[in-house]
Chain A
Amino acid sequence: MDFDDTPEEAAFRAEVRALLDPHRLEGPGHYRGGHGLAEVLAGQRAWQRTLFEAGWAVPAWPREYGGRGLSAGQRQIWAEELGRIGRRDSMLSGGLGMLGPTLIEHGSEAQKRRFLEPTARGDILWCQLFSEPGAGSDLASLATRAVRDGEGWRITGQKVWSSFANHADMGFLLARTNPNAPKHAGIGFFLVDMKAPGVEVRPLIEMTGGNHFNEVFLADVRVPGENLVGGPDAGWTLARTTLMHERLSIGSFSALAPVERLLAQVRAQGGTDPMTADAMARLWVQARALDLLSARVRTSLARGQHPGAGALVMKNAISDVMLRAADLGMRALGPDALAADGPFQHDFLFAPSMHIGGGTEEIVKSLAAEQGLGLPREPDATKGVPFEALPRSGSAR
């Protein structure tokens, strides 16, 4: 057990820091709702190209695909150092952190050649087209249809909660290829050109007043056969790879960063009352412990071991910290919390989404209970039932 950088890690950190430090971002580098999304995106694309030219666009990817094959420990150092210069968040992460790794694992050689490099360069902004109005937590009950059309497919349906789809170049989409199979079988994973005829994107305004999400309507959209990843029935397996990478990226956030921002605000205003101070100290303790849990999980991953039950509880724990930090931030503001804008208003309004996106609090807990504690699954009434025969919302009589 040793929490200091090894000599190799220290050398790696120094190398990364020398590369990144001249590029410290002043001002907001990530999109926090409201206007300015296009400007932020342009800045992030330019930065991704800079990284690409330096050979650091996708350091976590294997070398043969333009990456540097970083170890789990090195990836953490890379993320920490990106955070230090204010460039950790990126709207391009759907491609860099989710679609890219999925293609590397499951894509054909032709798909890898065609998509990986432009994705790494930031030329393709990817959006995820998974959730549907009728398929949220039970994603596998999705109803968007993909019907064969010669060598290709015709896709019809509706997607929702698709981040940045209104700016995206491409989407990765799940659609039902075989409605007569049970729900998990008979799903395909498609790469869809967002400019294709029949794709219509309608921005959703969230409760923050900002716009991350979109509804995406697909009306008989023609998708060429070479844009199907894996077999026509392999979509669910691929989606699990993609979602695992999404959860990993959520779990790699530092829990301490939002708490430090809160403490800085309180210090700047000369402190707070003892009860609020205690709640903040307790939150600080929780965030420190969570960052330690995250470090423990990374060590397991780096050693090729199963990360254990700890990894399964991190997403909910970080969501709790963010909710609490936002609430205490508002408390610290006193009467100024009544204003529309301020240092914590956006966090406060954004916080309820933390326990919904990327697996709801309840879904995550059930997974942790089943996979981490070995508790039995609940009987699934839909097991083995063909998709066509499933009861759906609104169908109950």
Chain B
Amino acid sequence: MNFAWSEEQDEFRASVRRFVAERWPAAETRRLAASERGFEPEVWRQLAGDLGLAGLAVPEAYGGQGFSMLELSIALDELGRELAGGPFFASACLAVLTIRNVATPAEQAELLPAIASGDAIATLAALDAPGAAGPDAIACTVRAGNLHGAKRFVIDAQNAGLLLIAAREAGSRGEAGVGLYAVDAKSPAVRIELAPGLDLTRKLAHVHLDGAPARRLGASGSAWPGLARTLAEGAIGLASEQIGAASRCLELAVAHAQQRFQFGRPIGAFQAVKHRAVDALTLLELARSAAWWAAWVAASRPDELFDAAVIAHSTACEAFEKAAYECIHLHGGMGFTWEHDAHLYYRRARADRVLFGDPAAHRVRLAGALGLV
């Protein structure tokens, strides 16, 4: 057993961290939050193309770097620290994984190169709204090659040229009849409505499909297993992003506690303050261990993917929420201001709990699998 990153992976992490610190620190994320896009095209081009992040998980044959969930998780962790990356999560993670899990080799060869170069931005709308539900939560239907319905809170849909939409054949139920469809966001039958969100730094939009021309990817009516796999991998990727963000929250809180003096000493010397910070540290170290392992599982142990997703997602949500809360609390009144970044993390932490369904909802299935109900 070896629970450590390779030298190459450590170097990769360092290069992403340098880039993010220079070009996309939290202050920049905060500035971009006011825009519709949420990213600066020139910086995206550098991140996606020069650093090659957009094609991290795209096979080399299709213009990518051919890496696994391990490298994706490193990039997400580093971007998460500064709430940076814009459409990286939607396009380089969710969309790429979806295409790899569902589309045929010929379709992959056609769609992936433009995503890998960063020229195209894609996103995934699997369920009709974010949640932990199964395929029954897909009511969007395909009739005569056109999609009808709506997808709520789709990540970075306003930036995407390519929408990957899960829809079912009319009259089908459950897993059967669910297909994956490629939709051109520019189609007049598609209306994309920006959804101002609780999380100011991850852009969401509602997608309305009113007979939008769609092209099926993969085999007919059999997309669900690949989508379910993508949702599990997505939750694992999100966990890494949460670990990065939570680490940053704790660093900010600790730095403040070291330099803020009250009663003649740094407040971090008081046990009550120390113990709050360590409570956050404990959850973070558990979650970090789970997230790293889960990324390895996604790359190497497909049969354990769903367990790994629940463990990583559940621990990461708790760790990030705790760290974001303590970051506010340990900064005192200053932490409660709009001006301080703490609320950006606090908002992100709560929104992340919803994106792939509340961990508590996933634990219902886990409790069944463990034979407890």
Contact = CB atoms under 8 A, between A and B. Distances in A.
The range of chain A's interface size is 35 or more
Which of A277, A295, A375 has the most chain B CB atoms inside 10 A of its CB? A375
A280 interface: yes
A2 B2 contact: yes
Contact of A293 (B254, B270, B286, B373): B286
A303 B6 CA distance: 12
Interface in B1-57: 1-6, 9
A293 B2 CA distance: 12
Contact of A376 (B269, B278, B315): B269
Contacts of A276: 372
A376 B268 contact: yes
A366 B271 CA distance: 7
A362 interface: yes
Contacts of B9: 1
A187 interface: no
Contact of B275 (A277, A299, A362): A362
Interface string A375-397: 11111000000000000000000
A263 B372 CA distance: 7
B3 A299 contact: yes
Contacts of B360: 278
B171 interface: no
The range of chain B's interface size is 35 or more
Which of B9, B278, B301 has the most chain A CB atoms inside 10 A of its CB? B278
A50 interface: no
Contact of A274 (B295, B307, B314, B367): B367
Interface of B: 1-6, 9, 70, 250, 254, 257-258, 265-266, 268-271, 273-275, 277-279, 281-282, 285-290, 292-293, 295-296, 300-301, 307, 310-311, 314-315, 360, 363-364, 366-367, 370-373
Given A285-B311, A292-B293, A373-B277, 10 more contacts: A1-B4, A3-B3, A263-B371, A271-B372, A280-B367, A292-B3, A293-B288, A300-B4, A365-B275, A373-B254
Interface of A: 1-6, 9, 73, 76, 263, 266-267, 271-274, 276-278, 280-282, 284-286, 288-290, 292-293, 295-296, 298-300, 303, 309-310, 313, 316-317, 362, 365-366, 368-370, 372-379
27 contacts: A1-B2, A1-B5, A1-B292, A1-B295, A3-B1, A3-B301, A4-B1, A5-B1, A6-B1, A263-B370, A271-B371, A276-B372, A281-B367, A285-B314, A289-B287, A289-B289, A293-B286, A299-B1, A310-B285, A310-B289, A313-B282, A365-B271, A365-B275, A366-B275, A375-B258, A376-B265, A378-B270
